[in-house]
Amino acid sequence: MAEVKSFTREEEKVLFSTIRKFKDIEAERDLNWMLLMRYTARRVETVHLLNVDDALLALDKGYLHIASHMQKGGKQGNKRGLNKKQEIYLVDAARRALEALLKIRKRMIAAAPEKAYEDTALILSRRRQRMSIRSYQERMTHWCNVAGIVKASPHWLRHTWAVRRLQNASTGAALREVQEVLGHEHITTTQVYTQPSRDDMRKSMQEAAL
C-alpha cells in the first residue's frame, strides 16, 4: 500500500504561520488557496479551475459546487459516477478563504486597472491570468523552503484533510464519508489513509522510550 504523504500537525502549523508573516498580496493569495484546499480536500486541478461565480455561489449556498469537468477524469468521469457534480460543505475556514480570495483578486486588478486580466478566474497569477497548475506547485515548493519544512506538493493538503478526518473519527462510517468527499471510486483507495501517520509513529516511538 502506497505511503500517504501529508503534513504533520506541526508542519501544517509552521507552514501557515510562516506565510502569515509576509504581507504582500501574493503571500496572502497563496495562504488562502492553501487553506481552501486544506479545508475542502480539493485537488489542485479543481482549485485551478475555480471561477469568481463558483466562489460567489458557494458563499451564498454554503456549499462549493464542483462540476464534473473540474474533477479527476474530467468529463469522462468514472464507472461509479463519483466524478459527477459534487457539493462540498464550507466550514468556516474554507468560507473565510473564499472571501479572502475574492478580495485579493479585486486588489490585484485595482493595482493596475489599465492592464488586461482574466475576467472569470478566481485565483490570479502575478500577470493577472488564471494560475497554472505548475504555478501552484512552484509556490508550494517555495513556501515549504521558506518555512524550513519537508518539500511537499499541493496534493498533500488534500491528504492532510483525509488523515485528520480519520484521526478524529469516532465511528467506522468515517471511511465511507472520506471516500465520498474525495470522490474515490474504490474504498481500498481511501483505506490508505488509515495507515499510521508520521505523527502517530513519532508519538509511538516517544511513548516506547519512557
Catalytic residues: 43, 72, 155, 158, 184, 193
Place of cell 479551475: 49
Residue carrying the nine cell digits 500577470: 127
- For 25-50, b/e burial (b = at least 16 CB within 10 A) is eebbbbbbbbbbbbbbbbbbebbbbb
- Calpha distance 34→156 (Å, rounded): 10
Contact at 8 Å (CB) between 158 and 136? no
Cell (9 digits) for 199: 505523527
